Amino acid sequence: MRIHKAGTWPILIILLMVLFILVIINIFFPVQTIVHYILYIIGVVFILLVIRFFRYPERDVIKDDQKIYSAADGTIVAIEEVEETEYFNDKRIQISVFMPLLNVHVNWYPVGGIVKYIRHYPGVHHPAYVPKASMENEMTSIIVEDYNKRLIMIRQIAGIMARRIVCNAKVNTGVSQGDELGIIKFGSRVDLFLPVNVDIKIKMHQKVRAGETVIAEF
């Protein structure tokens, strides 16, 4: 287990902030009491939670052109046929994975192929698990064309606490199934928009893991 590079500065800043607050408390209230020890414990736990948020686990992805893996760790909150109007302008199967605060927040490519399209949208920050988050929240959309010319959309969506989407995708760049796509900081969601003829392999409220759980098969 390692720490994602996007977490270096947030972890350092939060560590310095916690230390600064504790120093100020000790300057004004130098006599150690039970309250001091409780605050020390809270500070340590908070720092450990932030470090845990940016953990970057190794995933041994078994590559398979017919399988579409989950792009994120979390819980399935939507499986529905929708009219996708940003790029495809036709019917697609939308599958949404909500990533609670304690989940791994790194995202991985669910298929291999060529990145054909990227677009970032500024927006609001509704809770990521609500349906309107897919339309109104800050988001980044990525289209990947797999090796059989099939197109899927991956949409990174910021949540109520998320304030930055990190996306490593570059147009016309080849990617492998299981490569890192990016990370969404502090609570978020990933939507997949798939062809309507895929065979869905998951169900609502199921827990999934990126690069391990098969979302659907072509």
Q: How far is it, in rounded angstroms, from Cα 210 to Cα 93?
A: 18
Strands 55-56 and 2-3: antiparallel
Residue 88: how many other CB atoms lie within 10 Å: 15
- Determine contact, residues 191/94, Cβ cutoff 8 Å: yes
Give catalytic status of residue 188 as yes or no: yes
Q: Report the distance separating Cα 177 and Cα 144, nearest Å.
A: 11
The Cα-based distances of 85 to 134, 157, 166 in angstroms read 12, 16, 23
Exactly one of 70, 96, 141, 188 is catalytic; name it.
188
Which residues are known catalytic residues? 188
